[in-house]
Structure formats: C-alpha cells, structure tokens
Amino acid sequence: SLFLPIGLTGQESGLRLVAEPEVISLEVGSSASLIVRVFDASGTLVDVPVRYAAPRQALRVRNGVVQAFSAGNFEIVATAALPAGVRGETPTLQIPVSISWPGITAIDLNPSARVLFVGTTVTHDAIAFHADGTKRPAPAFRWTTSDPMVASVDPYGAVTGQAEGTATLTASIEGASSEILHTVRSFPATELLIEGGSDEARTGDVLRFSATGLGPEGRIEDFPVTWAYTFVPDDSIRAPGSAAIMNDGAFVAEVPGRYTILALSGVLTSRKTVLVHGRGIVQLIELQGQGAVRSSHTSDLWVFEGLDGRDYAITGTWSAAGWAYFWDVTDPTNMFATDSIQLDARTVNDVKAPPSGRYAALSREGASNRSNGVVILDMADPAHPSIASTFETHGVTGGVHNMFATEDYLFALAGGDKYVIIDVRDPYNPRYVSEYNHPNSRVHDVWVHDGIAYSSEWENGVVVVDVGNGRWGGTIENPVFVTNVPYPVGATHAAFPYHQESTGKFYLFLGDEMSGSGNEPWAGRGNDNRPYNPNTGEGGVQGRMRGYLHIIDFTDPEEPLDVARYEIPESGTHNLWIEDDVLYQAHYKGGLRVVDISGELMGNLAHQGREIAVYKPQDPGGFLRNQVSVWGAQPHKGYVFFSDMNSGLWAAKLSPRSRPIS
C-alpha cells in the first residue's frame, strides 16, 4: 500500500520518527514545509541527521521544503542516521504526498494548415497553460464544432471539411476553452503531385517528400495533405507490426522492403515507391585488453595523450575508499597501471584532463570530514602525477559529482546545486572565476562546447548557458542563460552536443538515468551491489537501470525539436561520446553500444539497423562476478576505451567492414 503507518521504529534502536505534517497535499509548482523529528524510546528528542528520498520526477525535498513537479500520489521516505553506539535497524518513515495540477487558464490552438477544403483534414496542436505559464502534460481536450455538417472533428482535434460554409472549432478542458473559426471552401485541385525522396534508401535514412495541389490557375497555396504509406516486406523478414514512420512528409523505414508513399487530399491521391535495403553496417568488435579493478566499483574514465607523447587513462572508484588509478594505454593489448592516488573520499566519481594533458582533476564525494571538492594534479610526469592543489570553496565542499576540463578553466559541480568555474591556468593556484545556478533545479553534469555550457539538470532537462561564446553576451566571468530544453521523462543525466557536418545540423544527445524497472514488464532480484557472499547468499546483484537517449535538433536554439531517440528497453543509458558520426553509448547492463548516427535522425535508432556493435564485458573475477555495468566510453586513436563498474578499464577495436561476420 502507498500509505504506510506513520512513525515506524527501528527494531533495536528504539528510535521513532514523527513528521509534521503527517500527510502533504500540494499543487504542481507549489511547496510546503516538512519537519521530521527523531525521538528515542523515552520520548526524548534526538539530534541525528535525517535524509530524504522521493521520486525525482515528482518531488524534491531540500532544507525542510517539499517542492512538487508532477501530479499523482507519492511518498517521501525519511531515514534517520543511528547515533554512535546505537545498534539496530535504521528507522524510516513514509510520508504520503498527494499532488494535483493547478487549474488551466488558457488554451493555444494551432492548425496544421490555414485553409480547409471539402474532403480535406486539418489537425490541431493544442497547448493548455496554467496561470503561471507552465504547460499541462498530455491534456485530454474535448473537441466540438458548431456545425458538424460543415466541419466534423474527431476526438483528437482532426477537422474534416464536409461542405462549404463556416464552423467554429472548440477545444475545452476543466472549464477553459478556446475557439478557432474554419471556413470550408470547395475542393479546388485537379491534380496532386508528390516530389522529393529517393528511389532507394537504407533503413534509418530520412527521406523528405512534398506534395503540391494544382488547379486551373496553377499551384494552390497552403494545401492540406495527409501522408501515409503501404509496405511489402523484404523476403528476409516477416511483416512487422510497425515498419516505418511518416511525419508531415518525412519518412524513415525501420525494416527493409518496398514502401509506397501516399499523399492524400480530398479525392486525389499521389504515390511514390521506395525500395529500402538493410543498413548493413554491423562490424565485429574485438577485445584488445583489460586494466582490471576487482577490489571495488570503478566509476568514470578519461583517455588522453600525455606530455611525453604516450597515451594514458585515468579511472575513478565508486563507493569505495577514494582511489584513482593511472594507466599506460599506449598499447591497448598491454595496458598497465602506472600509479594510484588515494583521496579522503568515498567516491572519486569523475576524472578529467584537458586536451593538452598538462593537468588533471579528480572529484571528491563522501569525505570523512564532509569537506569535499576538487583535487588538481600536475601531469608533467603523466605516469606518476602529483597533487598540485585542492579547491574547496564556493560550495564544492558539498560534493563534486562531475566536472569538465578546458585548457584554462575547470567546471565543477557544487553539491548538485550549481557549477563553479575555476581558473586552472596555474594548477598550483586555482582561482574562483564565476558560477551558474539555475533556479529551482538540481544539476548532475556539465559539458562545454564552443563557449557554451550544457548542464544536465534532471526534470529541467538540459540548461544552455553562454560562458564565452558571446552570441548571447556571456563571458567566462559572467555566464548568461540561453535556454533550457526539458522533456517529459524528466531525468536528464548527461548531455553531449554534436555538430553533424554532413547535414549541417546541431544535435543534443540527452541521456536519462532512472533506477528500477519502472513500468517495464521485466523484473528480478533487487540490486545488492556488494560482492556475493556464498555463506549468506547475499550480494552479487547489479542494480537495474532504465531510461533512453533523447536526440534534440538544436540547430535553431530558439526552436529545439525532439526528433529521435536511442532506446533499449532492458537497460538504461549512462555516459556517452560521439565522434565522426558514431555514438559510443555506455548502457549499464546493456554493455557498450556503438551506433551509426550519420545523416538526418528520426525515430528510434535501435529499430533501424543502426547498431554497429555491442560488447558486454564479463569478468569471472569482477567485483560483482560476470555482472555487466558499463559506466562510460571514449574513442581514442582508433580504439574505444570504456569502464565497467565491476571490472575496471577495457579497450576494444572495431574490425573493418570488409571483414565478414561469422
């Protein structure tokens, strides 16, 4: 049951948690105070830390304030730390939270065409707004027309002209409504022409078609067209339930076969046939070597050419003892550790170096004195780095989860609240420059490209800030907000900006991170990330992760478009890298995924034969034996290096396409 008893008690500790209020009711966009007190068995107030967990997409609990983001029934789980010397189960408390949407105050109606003829159909994009200007997700409108004999409407706002005349279309929801007047004219066209596309294509290729209506006086402007396709499968497959996507003249096939593209308007039909072949881009991926780490979980990696001309990698550790490892990877078939550094930290989550390799940075979380921050290394001797300095001001003591290193500046997250920009031109004397803190947001990662910072901020999507590009007036000393691109999943974990030379498009690849199976049908044992204990049968179970890669066309920053995705349902995305139209995606249990992202992108790339290779590193001696959990990947000098949480650093190489796959 969602609503559990209030005031649960640790079995031996005798501690009891009491919430004020016991039940919380909120509207999306509002907040409420929450106080949780801890009492011992005698009723005496105990001063111990209380931590909170809540669904990230719906709630945030911070500094005694609960903020609401999504409607529904949820719960906050409060957990009290046991005082020194007290044994027993950790006391927890479930606090029910009910969240409702605020009222809708306005509706914006946008027709797909301005003219409606008899026998043609015009769809409508309707947006419902709350009083504060936010949009209602997936609003269920009621659609009506004033005269169905002139213009009829279906339950989804598609209006079809039935006879000449005028009719008013109304969209209503929760007491709010909006109207648009349609004038239905006689159907003027005598011919419908379809143009564009191609006679042949591969799965995943985006073809663009256009249709033109012609009448006695020539071309008819703003002519409504409905698009469709028919499909005859290739001999090698059976007909699938869905074979392609057709969207406003844009077409992409997911499986090989013969497709007939149809343009429909009134009594007219025009068609064009396209023969689609398989993409044929699978390559053999071959293991080159492993830098094994089996005593703890491995976190991120960074591969670079050192000042001595040799190639090196740095790897961190997660929920361990603060170790970072340094590797010579010049020969990927014979990688070897050259040195290690132990920090006062539980987790060295991120490791970074600039292109020159002159310095490196290690992030710190979980320090014994709660004073975290960044450790900056002198990489003059890349095989044996030395600590040059630490940076522990301006909020980074709360924990640094991720960083980004340029030649002169280091961007470091501060307690998940903001990112701080540090001048590291002299690694021995780092200097605070500026910071950016997006309002009402939590940040997980930041990536910098061409003077623009792209920070991944969970339910707020990616936040774009000018930090020296100058187009929006930003400098490194004065960052300027540009825009943010949220999306419905609300779990933006990593962002990679990429300019595609072949099309001129600029894409943002935004990865989710969500734990558990969610609404997926697959299940199994819950995660237990401890090594397997044969005496108790506990441990050895890698956690389940989900979420996918969202692909945003950001060519026009003022009008970002969610155009494609890469989704594997039984595992979730983590860190990623893109180079030369190839995506290297770490996919936790799904392993390393190498994906062709050439050409215009549309639909789910996983369904289009765009996967080049998949590698799942299994290590019988791993921290969790034979469990796959790929954290990050990076191409370097013809090889792809990747880290796995349970087994350390790996290197692989794609074989040439001319080599047969056996």
Question: For 469-486, what is each residue's pLDDT tens digit?
Answer: 999 999 999 999 999 998
pLDDT at 307: 98
Distances (CA, A) of 130 to 170, 175, 337, 438: 18, 12, 57, 22
User: Domain coordinates of the chain in residue numbers?
Assistant: 16-100, 104-185, 191-277, 295-437
Nearest to 171 by CA among 111, 218, 255: 111
Name 340's Cβ contacts closer than 8 Å, sequence gap at least 6: 323, 324, 325, 326
pLDDT at 440: 82
Residues in the chain: 662
Q: What residue type is assigned to position 51 of the chain?
A: R
Largest CA distance in the chain: 93
Strand partners, 321: none
The mean pLDDT value for 147-167 works out to 97
pLDDT at 662: 46
What whole-number percentage of the chain has pLDDT above 90? 79
Average pLDDT for the chain: 92
Q: What residue type is assigned to position 603 of the chain?
A: G
Within this chain, domains 104-185 and 191-277 share the same CATH topology: yes
The mean pLDDT value for 90-111 works out to 95
Identify the residue with better confidence: 535 or 130: 130
Q: Give the C-alpha separation, 20 to 160, whole Å.
A: 55
Q: Using only C-alpha atoms, what is the Rg of the chain?
A: 28
- At 404, the pLDDT band (50, 70, 90 cuts) reads very high
May I ask the CATH architecture of the domain 295-437? 7 Propeller (2.130)
pLDDT of residue 236 exceeding 70, the answer is: no
Strand pairing category for 35-39 and 45-46 = antiparallel
pLDDT of residue 224 exceeding 60, the answer is: yes
- At 464, the pLDDT band (50, 70, 90 cuts) reads very high
What whole-number percentage of the chain has pLDDT above 70? 94
User: Does 2.30.29.30 match the CATH number of domain 191-277?
Assistant: no
pLDDT of residue 232 exceeding 80, the answer is: yes
- The CA dihedral of 637, 643, 649, 654, to the nearest 10 degrees, is -40
Tens digit of each residue's pLDDT (9 = 90 or more) over 239-273:
565 678 888 899 999 999 999 999 999 999 999 99
pLDDT at 583: 99
**Neighbour tally for 302: CB within 10 Å:** 23
Q: Give the C-alpha separation, 581 to 635, whole Å.
A: 12
DSSP per-residue letters across 267-287: TEEEEEEEEEE-------EEE
**Neighbour tally for 121: CB within 10 Å:** 22
Contact 443, 493 (CB under 8 A): no
pLDDT of residue 85 exceeding 80, the answer is: no
Identify the residue with better confidence: 234 or 450: 450
Q: Give the C-alpha separation, 230 to 259, whole Å.
A: 6
pLDDT at 505: 98
pLDDT of residue 212 exceeding 80, the answer is: yes
The mean pLDDT value for 549-569 works out to 95
pLDDT at 445: 97
Give, as one character, the DSSP assignment of residue 164. Answer: S
Q: Give the C-alpha separation, 78 to 99, whole Å.
A: 18
Distances (CA, A) of 575 to 133, 446, 518, 528: 33, 12, 20, 22
Structure tokens at 90: 């950790």
pLDDT at 242: 62
Query: Which range has the worst mean pLDDT, 128-137, 331-340, 594-603?
Result: 128-137
Q: What residue type is assigned to position 217 of the chain?
A: E
CATH of 104-185, one of 3.30.2350.10, 2.40.170.20, 2.60.40.1080, 3.30.300.30: 2.60.40.1080
Query: Which range has the worst mean pLDDT, 128-137, 511-520, 617-626?
Result: 511-520
Q: Give the C-alpha separation, 523 to 536, whole Å.
A: 22
pLDDT of residue 516 exceeding 90, the answer is: no
- The CATH code for residues 16-100 is 2.60.40.1080
pLDDT at 222: 85
Determine the 3-state secondary structure of 332 from DSSP: helix
Structure tokens at 573: 């995305």
pLDDT of residue 5 exceeding 50, the answer is: no
Peptide bond into 21 cis (omega under 30): yes
Half-sphere exposure in the Cβ direction for 620 (13 Å, CA): 0
pLDDT of residue 396 exceeding 60, the answer is: yes
pLDDT of residue 216 exceeding 80, the answer is: yes
Q: Give the C-alpha separation, 645 to 641, whole Å.
A: 14
pLDDT at 515: 80
Give, as one character, the DSSP assignment of residue 346. Answer: S
pLDDT of residue 661 exceeding 60, the answer is: no
pLDDT at 60: 86
The mean pLDDT value for 283-287 works out to 97
Which residue matches tokens 């996983």? 606
The mean pLDDT value for 547-575 works out to 94
The mean pLDDT value for 417-435 works out to 98
Q: Give the C-alpha separation, 304 to 401, whole Å.
A: 21
pLDDT at 10: 43
Give, as one character, the DSSP assignment of residue 528. Answer: B
Q: Give the C-alpha separation, 644 to 30, whole Å.
A: 40
Distances (CA, A) of 153 to 21, 55, 116, 144, 169: 47, 38, 13, 6, 8
